[in-house]
Chain A
Amino acid sequence: MRLMRATRTGVAAIALACGLGGCEYSNVHPRMMADADAGAYGAPRVELQSRLTDNPSDRAYLLDRLRLLILTLADGQPAQAEEVANQTFRLLRTQGLNADRTTAAVVVNEGVKIWKGEPFEQAMGFSYIAVQKAQVGQWDNARAAANASLFLLKSFGENERGEEMDSVELARRAAEEDARRGQGAGDRYINKGYTPVKTNFVLGYLLNGLANKAIGRADEASDNFHEAAAVREHLKPLAEALDAGTYNTVFVVDYGRGPTKIATGPDNAFARYVENWPSGAEPIRVAVEDGGAPLAEAPPVQDLNRMARSLMWNNLEDVRTAKSAIGTGLLVGGLAVAGTSRDNEAQLAGVGAALIGLAMKATARADTRHAEFLPQRVYLVPVNITGPDATVTLEVAGDSRSRMVLTAIDPPAAGGIQLRYVKVPPTGGEWARSGRVLYGNDEYSGRIDGDSLPYILGGRDVSLPTPAAMKRYHAAGCLRSMTYTELENLYREEGIALSVEDAKGQSRAHVLEGGDSLVPPLPGTAGYARLFGQDHPPYRPRSRGLQDFLNELNETSQAAIGRPKNDTQGAER
C-alpha cells in the first residue's frame, strides 16, 4: 500500500515536472517554416500576431515577438513591426528576467524560463530592432538598438589545441574542478572563470556605424566601421565604403536558413546547434539601374553557424549540467537507500526519491526553443540610387536561386541614408526574379494596365484612397461621381485598414493576399517583390455595402470598368 503511494508520488512528480518543464517545446509549425522558406511571410506573421501573448511573464512572450519581428520586416512592413520591436527591446534590456525561475529551471527544466535566447540570438534580436528603426527613418533609435547588440562576451580562453573551448570541454573542466576542489568549485569556475571580452559582432558595429553616420556623428561612425574591420580584416573594403563611399541606400540581406537547436549528450542535457545551410564566403553581387554602388560585390558580414558554435555566444550549459547531475544523483542515491535499508519507511522514501530523480532526468533535456527565422548569414550592401523607381538586383555568387530583383526604389525622400531589409527566401518563387510591378500602388509612380480602378472594384490598383488616386481614376473615366472620401468609406466598410494606426499597430496581411490591410510594403524588400511581382486572384467582397456597390456598377456600366480615359461610358455610379 505504502509502496503504491510512493509510486503514485513519483508519477505525480513526473507529471508535475512535465507540466512545469514543458516536455514539449513551442517551436513553430513546419507549415510556417515552409511558408517562410518560400518567402510567403504574410500567413505566418498573421498567425504569429494572433497568438501573441500580452503577458510578459509568459515563456513565449519574447520568442514569438522576435519571430514576428523578423517576418514582418521580411514582408516589408517595418511600421507594422514598431510595437513588437519596442516590446522586444524592453524585455531584452531587462536583466535577470529569469532570476526567480532559475531554481525551478535547475531542478526541473529550463523550459520553465522565459525564452530570452542565447546571446547570439539576443544580439541578432537587437539588430532586427535596429533594422526596423532605420527602415522607418528613426536612426537615433537604430543607434540605441545597434549599440545594445554590442554587449560584452565571456571568454573561457582556449583549449590545449589553441582553439576556443566548446561547451563539452567547459563542462569537463568544471567537473574536474569539482573533483579537485570539492562540490561547487565547478560552478564557481563557470560563473567566474571567464574574462569579459569586447564583442566580435560585426553586424552590430556596422549598423551602429551606419546609424551614427545617418545622424551626422561621423567620428563615432568611423570608430564603429574601423572596429568591424579590426574584427574581420576581409571586411575592410566594405567598412571603408560604408564610412566614406557614395551611397544613399543600404540593403541588409539575410541569406540561408540559420542553425537548429537540438538536445544532445548525456540525458540530452546539452544544447547544440546543427547547420541547415553551409557557411561560405561567397560574396553578394549587386547591380543598380539608375544609380551605382561603391562595391560591385560585398562579402558576408555575419555567419550565424559560426556564432551558434562559439561558446562565447552561448550560455546556460552550467544549468543543464547541474540539473542533469541532480537527477542522476537522486536516482542513484534513492535506489541505493531502497536496496540497502531494512527500514520500510526508509525504503519507501528511497523509492520516492528515485522516482523523483527519474522524473528530473526525464525532463533534464535541454530547452531547444530557438529563433527559427534567423538566417545562416547576413550581407550589407551599399548602393546609390539616383532616380525614382530604380531597380536593384542582388545575387549571392554561385546561387542563381538567390537572385532578387527589387523594383520601384526611390532615393531617400529627405536625403541622407535609407535602409532596406531583404530576406532571401531559400525556396522562393519566380516573383523574386520577375522584376515586375503588376499592381498600381503608392510606392510606384509608373502606370500599370488596369490601375484606373481599385482592386476591390475589379481593377489592379491598391493605392490608398487619396485625392491623387481619385484624380487618376477620374481621368481614366472611372468612378467619376465618387469622391475619395466615399471610396475610403467603402474600404472601411470592408474592414480594410488604410494605415498602421487603423490596424492598431499590428501585423496584418495585404488585401492582395486575402488580408485586410492596404498598407503597401516598402519597395526594396522581399515583401514588395512578392506582393506586386505576381498575379493574385480577384478580390472577393466581404461587406453588403461593397456587394451592393458592385451590383449597381455592373448594372449601369459593367463594360466600362477599366476602360481608357475619354470613354464617356466610364464606370459611373
Chain B
Amino acid sequence: MKVTAAVILFTLVAMVGGCAAPARSTQMTSADLDETTAVMAQKLSASRLLAERTPDSPKMVIAIAKVQNLTSDLIPEGEQWMLMEKVKGSLPLLNLGRERNVAFVIPAEHLSAAKRAGTLPEEAALARNPTHEMTATFLSGTRMAGKDRTDAYLVEYRITSLSTGALEWVETFEFKRAASGIAYD
C-alpha cells in the first residue's frame, strides 16, 4: 500500500514538471521564425514609413533580398527567402499600391537566375527600377557553461533607400534558446 502511494506520488511529481526533459538544442525552431515574421510584418504595417505615404507620394519600389544568416545555425536558402516573403506577403499589397504608391518587385537574384536558366527573356523586367531594398540579418551569440548552452538571437529587418543609402525603416526582434546536455554526446 505504501509502495503504491509512493509510486503515485512520484508519478504526480514527474507530471507536474519536476522531471520535464531539458531542451537538447539551441537551434531556432519554426515557431521562432513564425513569430519573427509575424512581429516584423506587424511593425512594418504600423511603421511611419508606410503610414505617412499617400497615393501622391513618389513611387516606392521595394526589392527584397534574402536574409543574411550570421547565427550559429543553418538557415537553408529557401527559408532565407521565405522569411522575407512572409513579411511582404502579410502586407495588403493591393492597398499599398493604391493608397501608398508602394510596389514590390522580383528580387535581382531571382531575375538573373531565371534569365540564366532561360525561363525569362533577357529583356524581362527592364522597368523594374527599385528605389528601396528590404534586407534582414539574423545574428546570434552563444554562452556555454558545462553542459548548458544558451543562444541569444537578434533579428534585424531594414528598408534602405537605394538613392541615398539612408536607413528608412529598421526594426529588431530578439529571442533566446537554452539547452542542456553534453555537446559531444
Are the C-beta atoms of B25 and A93 separated by less than 8 Å?
yes
For B69-92 the 0/1 string (1 means CB < 8 A from A) is 111111111000000000000000
Q: A97, A144, A152, A468: which contacts B118 (Cβ < 8 A)?
A: A468
Task: Give Cα A143–Cα B74 distance, bound, in whole angstroms.
Answer: 9
- In the bound complex, CA of A136 to CA of B73 (Å): 17
Set of chain A residues within 8 Å of B147, measured between Cβ atoms: 95-96
A530 an interface residue at 8 Å Cβ cutoff? no
B181 touching A96, Cβ below 8 Å:
yes
Question: Is B68 in contact with A148, judged by CB distance below 8 angstroms?
Answer: no
**Minimum CB–CB distance for B149 against chain A, Å:** 7
- Verify B72–A98 contact, CB threshold 8 A: no
Within A99-155, the residues touching B (CB, 8 Å) are 99, 102, 116, 119, 122, 129, 133, 136, 138, 140-141, 143-145, 147-148, 151-152
CB distance from A275 to the nearest CB of B (A): 23
* CB-contacts of B49-99 with A (<8 A): 68-77
Within B1-47, which residues are at the interface with A (CB < 8 Å)?
Answer: 22, 24-27
Interface size on A, residues (CB 8 A): 34
Whether A82 pairs with B73 at a CB distance below 8 angstroms is no
Q: Give the residue name and chain of the A residue nearest to B151 (CB).
A: A93
With contacts A93-B27, A95-B25 taken as known, whether A86 is within 8 angstroms of B74 at the C-beta atoms is yes
What per-residue 1/0 map shows which CB atoms of B108-145 lie under 8 Å from chain A?
00000000111000000000000000000000000010
Cβ contacts under 8 Å, A86 to chain B: 74, 76
- Give bound CA distance, A510 to B22, whole Å: 45
Give the size of the chain B interface in residues (CB under 8 angstroms): 28
B155-185 toward A: CB 8 Å interface, digit per residue (1/0)? Answer: 0000000000000000000000001111111
A466 touches B73 (CB 8 A): no
Partner of A133, one of B24, B74, B180, B182: B74
**With contact pairs A96-B147, A152-B144, A215-B68 given, residues A102 and B77 touching in the complex (Cβ less than 8 Å):** no
CA distance A315 to B118 in the complex (A): 52
A94 within 8 A of partner (CB): yes
In whole angstroms, what is the CA distance A571 to B153 when docked?
Answer: 61
- Given contacts A90-B27, A466-B118, whether A99 and B181 have CB atoms under 8 Å apart is yes
A102-B70 contact in complex given A86-B76, A95-B180, A96-B180, C-beta closer than 8 Å: no
Q: Given the known inter-chain contacts A215-B68, A467-B118, A468-B118, please indicate yes or no for A93 contacting B181, CB distance below 8 A.
A: no
A140 contacts B69, C-beta separation under 8 Å: yes
Return chain B residues, CB-CB under 8 Å to A133.
Answer: 74
CA distance A152 to B143 in the complex (A): 12
The answer to whether A89 and B182 have CB atoms under 8 Å apart is: no
- Contact across chains for B184 and A119 when beta carbons are under 8 A apart: yes
Contact of A93 among B70, B73, B75, B116 (CB under 8 A): B73
Partner among B69, B72, B149, B185 whose Cβ is within 8 Å of the Cβ of A97: B185
Q: Which residues of A contact B71 (CB under 8 A)?
A: 144
On whether the beta carbons of B185 and A99 are closer than 8 Å, the reply is yes
Q: Please, which residue of chain B has its CB at the minimum distance from the CB of A121?
A: B184
Query: Which A-chain residue is minimally distant from B69 (CB atoms)?
Result: A140
Distance from B169 Cβ to chain A, minimum over Cβ atoms (Å): 22
Cα–Cα distance between A89 and B26 once the two chains are bound (Å): 12
A82–B76 contact, CB under 8 A? Answer: yes
Determine which residue in B22, B144, B184, B185 has the highest number of CB atoms from chain A within 10 A of its CB, and name it: B184
When the two chains form their complex, are residues B185 and A102 in contact, meaning their CB atoms are under 8 A apart? yes
Report A128 CB to chain B, min CB distance, Å: 13
B183 x A95 contact (CB < 8 A): yes
Contact of A94 with B25 in the complex, beta carbons under 8 Å = yes
Contact of A96 among B27, B118, B182 (CB under 8 A): B182
Roughly how many angstroms separate A116 CA and B24 CA in the complex, as a whole number? 14
Given A86-B74, A141-B74, verify A95-B27 contact (CB < 8 Å).
no
**What's the minimum C-beta distance from B150 to chain A, rounded to whole angstroms?**
12
Q: Which of B69, B118, B179 contacts A141 (CB 8 A)?
A: B69
Within 8 A of B (CB), among A386-439: 413
Residues of B within 8 Å of A144, CB to CB, are 69, 71-75
Measured CA separation A99–B24 after assembly (Å): 10
Q: A136 CA to B184 CA in the complex, in Å?
A: 28
Give 22 CB contacts A-B under 8 Å: A90-B25, A93-B26, A95-B179, A95-B182, A95-B183, A95-B185, A97-B185, A99-B24, A99-B181, A102-B185, A116-B185, A141-B75, A143-B69, A144-B72, A144-B73, A144-B74, A147-B72, A151-B184, A315-B184, A413-B116, A467-B118, A468-B118
A interface residues with partner B (beta carbon < 8 Å): 82, 86, 89-90, 93-99, 102, 116, 119, 122, 129, 133, 136, 138, 140-141, 143-145, 147-148, 151-152, 215, 315, 413, 466-468
Q: A98-B185, A141-B77 are in contact. List 6 more A-B contacts (CB 8 A).
A: A95-B147, A122-B184, A138-B77, A140-B68, A144-B72, A144-B75
Q: Which 7 A-B pairs have the closest CB atoms?
A: A96-B181, A95-B181, A140-B69, A94-B25, A94-B24, A141-B74, A98-B185
